[in-house]
Amino acid sequence: MSRQSEIAEFVKRTLDRYFRDLDGEKPSAVYEMVLRNVEKPMLETVMRHANGNQTVAAEMLGINRNTLRRKLIEHKLL
């Protein structure tokens, strides 16, 4: 199993557990919840592996450096 498949499977299992634990409650804003809970730790980890270098981190993420900077600010990581 590839690393990408492992991450996807983990997200799938976690979401299945989330829906199961709702116990009849109606879910809302699932998309935003997942992004909010995945994006910050991803940014923290990538920045650590890039030794704090935003240009390197942006390249690793496949996003523009300005986009990375905006996201770091949004998540209070700068």
Q: Enter the pTM of the model.
A: 0.81
Task: Give residue for tokens 């995945």.
Answer: 38
pLDDT of residue 4: 72
State residue 62's pLDDT score.
Answer: 98
Q: What is the pLDDT of residues 39-76, one digit of tens each?
A: 999 999 999 999 999 999 999 999 999 999 999 999 99
Superfamily, domain 3-74: Homeodomain-like (1.10.10.60)
For the chain, the structural domain boundaries read 3-74
Residue count of the chain, please give it. 78
Residue-level pLDDT at 60: 98
Q: Could you tell me the two tokens for 70?
A: 């905006």
